[in-house]
Amino acid sequence: MALGPRDTGQLVMLTGWDATALRNYQLEDGTTFAAIVAQMNAALGGLAGELVGDPLWAGLVSYTDQPDLEYRVGTSNGMELFTEYGRPDAQRAATEGHMLPLQAFDRGLGWTWNYLRRARASQVQADIADAIKDVKDRWRVSILTRLFKRGDDSGAAKGLGSGGLSPGFATTAASTGVDFVPPTVGGTSFTSTHEHYVGITGGDFTAAVFTDAKDELREHGHEPPYEFIISPTDEAEVRALTGFVETASSLIAYGAMQDTARLNPMQDSNGGYYIGTISDFAVRVVRGVPQYYGFGWKSYGANSQRNPLRIRLAKGESRPMVTAFPDPRSGAGAVYPLQYMMLFTEFGVGVGDRTNGTARYTNSATWSDGTPT
């Protein structure tokens, strides 16, 4: 028997105790099925709203559940001089069309019954947050890939059947299976060799890159202001260009004679942010855009049908949906619904207006598709 009162010196690990096991017991909170479902529902509900409401994506895309598009092309025949007895010839617009892709994506989650019996809530929350991040990454990469890909999407695996094509923006006929002659605007006519994917030698962004992109959009009737996205790697170079006007910072008091861009410098949900303006473009740095690449377009407002990209959703849907349910391929049914949990979404990114977008690659005179991350 030991004599004397207990003090802090007796707060020691005894020989037969395991520190890790005791720590696990201390943090064990008995996370339940209902608690995880509630967390998952809250996360997925917020995610759907974020994808639709994000200012970058909202100003770039619109949504449809239809698999096809049809649009006017080429030159019209114009009006005829009126005569008292003569009747004008009937005329019709020339049209072209393409299909929109649709692909399904899933992401597995799973917790055994015994794990949940001893789980810490923070671990489960981390798993859910990681899955949500993967959905957002898939969304970003799919959109950016279409912006920097000149060729057509095709094939049944992309929801296009055996002969359907989903082309990019205006490009020479040799680069697409859906020839496109942009409609005449203001007396300016175009041919099927009109090109919106431009390669530039030198490896540098210059003021001329933005001037040329502006002219290309404006000749199709898209009036300023415009949007332009670049890679974080190219940010410093663009900021240094002559004619570039920086976005005002809330941390700086500017003089009365100093020009600043009237843009919100705060980051969007993807981590992108405006840095300033040049040639009527609001320039935004976007994570995932590859170095040397840029893309300019006219935004017509949140999810406007006149925006450059058209995202196809599952039939009957009007906004992107991400759902969670037990993987039907597991063979376990609903006996242990969380052991084979999966997230599922279905969408495809195509081009809505083939004139409202122009891509730049500044590292070669020959265009090469970019690979976003």
Tokens linked to 307: 């925006």
Q: What is the pLDDT of residues 301-358, one digit of tens each?
A: 999 999 999 999 999 999 999 988 878 887 766 566 677 888 999 999 999 999 999 9
Rounded to whole angstroms, the Cα distance separating 201 from 364 reads 4
Would residue 282 count as lying in a domain? yes
Would residue 167 count as lying in a domain? yes
Would residue 139 count as lying in a domain? yes
Would residue 238 count as lying in a domain? yes
Would residue 83 count as lying in a domain? no
Q: What is the pLDDT of residues 231-286, one digit of tens each?
A: 999 999 999 999 999 887 665 666 665 666 667 666 677 778 999 999 999 999 99
Would residue 7 count as lying in a domain? no
Which amino acid is residue 106, in one-letter code? D
**Domain housing 131:** 33-76+96-361
pLDDT, position 260:
65
The more confidently predicted of residues 154 and 40 is: 154
Question: pTM for the whole thing?
Answer: 0.88
CATH code at position 256? 3.90.1690
C-alpha pair distances (Å), 169 with each of 3, 97, 152, 310: 87, 13, 10, 12
- Is residue 10 predicted with pLDDT exceeding 60? no
Rounded to whole angstroms, the Cα distance separating 41 from 53 reads 18
pLDDT, position 17:
62
- Is residue 6 predicted with pLDDT exceeding 80? no
- Residues 287, 268 contacting (CB under 8 angstroms): no
- Report DSSP state, residue 240: T
CB-hemisphere CA count at 13 Å for 290? 19
**Ramachandran angles phi, psi of 118, nearest 5°:** -120, 10
Query: For residue 225, is the peptide bond before it cis, meaning its omega torsion is within 30 degrees of 0?
Result: yes
Would residue 2 count as lying in a domain? no
In sequence order, the 6+-apart residues with CB closer than 8 A to the CB of 10 are: none
- Is residue 8 predicted with pLDDT exceeding 50? no
- Report DSSP state, residue 188: B
Would residue 151 count as lying in a domain? yes
Rounded to whole angstroms, the Cα distance separating 225 from 263 reads 12
Tokens linked to 260: 């600043």
The number of distinct structural domains making up the chain is 1
Average pLDDT value for the chain: 87
- Is residue 27 predicted with pLDDT exceeding 60? no
